[in-house]
Chains A and B, each alone.
Chain A
Amino acid sequence: MHHLKLASVVVGLSVASSGFAATEVAWWHAMGGANGEKVNEIAKAFNDSQDAYSVKPVYKGNYTETMTSAIAAFRAKQQPAIVQVFEVGTASMMAAKGAIYPVHQLMRESGQSFDESTYLSAVTGYYTDGDGKMLSMPFNSSTPVLYYNKDLFAKAGIKHAPKTWQDVEAVSKQLQASGVSCGFTTAWQSWVQLENLSARHNVPFATLDNGFGGLKTELAFNGPLQVAHVTKMGEWQQNGIFSYSGRTNDGAAKFYSQECGMFTESSAGYAGIKRNATFDFGVAELPYWQGQVKQPSNTIIGGASLWVLQGHSEEEYKGVASFLSYLSRASVQADWHQFSGYLPITKAAYDLSKGQGFYAANPGTETGVVQMTTGTPTGNTKGLRLGNFVQIRGVIDEALESVWSGKVDAQTALNTAVERGNAQLRRFEKAND
């Protein structure tokens, strides 16, 4: 009896002491479904690996909801230590100097070893400041690629995956001749058909290195290349080579139902396509216009990164830093990359996946990584840093829709979008200067 009491006191003490020791770190994220479960798994593995810190992941809804709740929480001084923010929110986060704790600074001040050169610059570049220092930690990044239906291709007698937009046009005609009603459809039209189109051809989407050079940036996506591409897409919409299917990735339905033979979509869409396609499919790099560029440049990323917010104790920040180091480990990265289809953020994780034979076993999963890492990113391909980018994308969606429906020509539509988008940039400049 006596022993039992003593034992329970000891147990109670040890529970209490471990409760004291583990500093809690709140992590708000936007990963639902299978990826959300994976996030919990990663946090648990980190928590089990040491007992000083305990990361608590909380699902906060979609990207917009997560960002809005984090901002509302910050205003109420209840912010989490880590929040996942989508790429279009980068400029807003970056401009909020008093609210964020830059990752490179956090790592240095917490005494974590942190070598920025081990990260893939095409991925981290999107989230760096003017000096190339990492402000946030990329978590889930993807880039647009072209998925194609191998069964339909074989039926139409097409031997090779298209490399250029000229190929896409020719292949689409062949598909149509074989009875397929549409050549291709696209997801995220602004991201794929304008932002990445510009990067692929190394032309500016906006001035001052796509906004990396400061808040005075102005949109520039009404240049000859973009106008020619959108004009062509408008024609294609009329003759069925292209079929518009909405602003997000609803177009997947047209690809699954084999209404369209090709689909430009995020590399992270791979798992979904693999699950839903009842046919054999292939993954090709995002096409470019032959004659417009000798060697296509790297594409830019989409997805989200982890931002650290101000207002927490030194102890918590140590926990954050140690968690971010853990996340960057090759084994953790490779596991996340292979599970989710998002790009690896370090060279080591890429090499590890290759060594494990992942790409050989899952053909097509390497396409995005290869496409991302060709060449050194330039001012036009590093990424986009535009304020009020959510609204600007809305403006672009509207402009493109007016071209697809045949109401306005490409030049006029893109000019209007640039003008309206610039008004948004000026509002942002004013609010954040």
Chain B
Amino acid sequence: MNNKNKSMIVIILVLVIALITLSVAFAALSATLKINFGNVNQTVQTWNVGFDTTGSPKAATASGSSATGRSCGAATITATTVTIANTELSKPDDACRWDLVIKNSGTINAKITGITATNPTGTGVSCTGSGAQIVCGNITYTLAKNTGGSTLLSTSDTIPATTGNTLNVYLIAKYTSSTPAAEAKTQQNASFKITVGQN
């Protein structure tokens, strides 16, 4: 039995040597080139762009020579629309300004694709203009990128998904006539709606 085991062990040793020899010969006649890919990640895209509704309804910052004949309604904000409640402006330089933010909380770069104004209601109100500015009697409503209202929000404006993903906009209602109103007139429900798309 011992001799048998010894023979088996010898045979195994011979086979192992043969295996090693074969491997060495194989390696000598071939070259293995290795390509390894690191982590391949796939991230689901999210779309979330619109007015920041935090703090809605929002109070305005009023300006002008005095508060007489001036009252600023609150602005009700949804992701797409901002609507102003009863607002009365009756003398030169009276103004109400609502500070808003358009925010991109998703992962896709966005841009403004449309701005639609809805005329306010009120006694004898008729409006001209469209887009980011309408003139309704003595009151001009503007959706602007600066507090002075001179730079209108436009369809070329972008809101990136990464750094700088907010756009400050200002809804300004201003009395634009050079003479005070004969009587106080209240306008309400002027609104601006924005549409956004992928940039």
A pairs with B = no
Residues on A facing B (Cβ under 8 Å): none
Residues on B facing A (Cβ under 8 Å): none
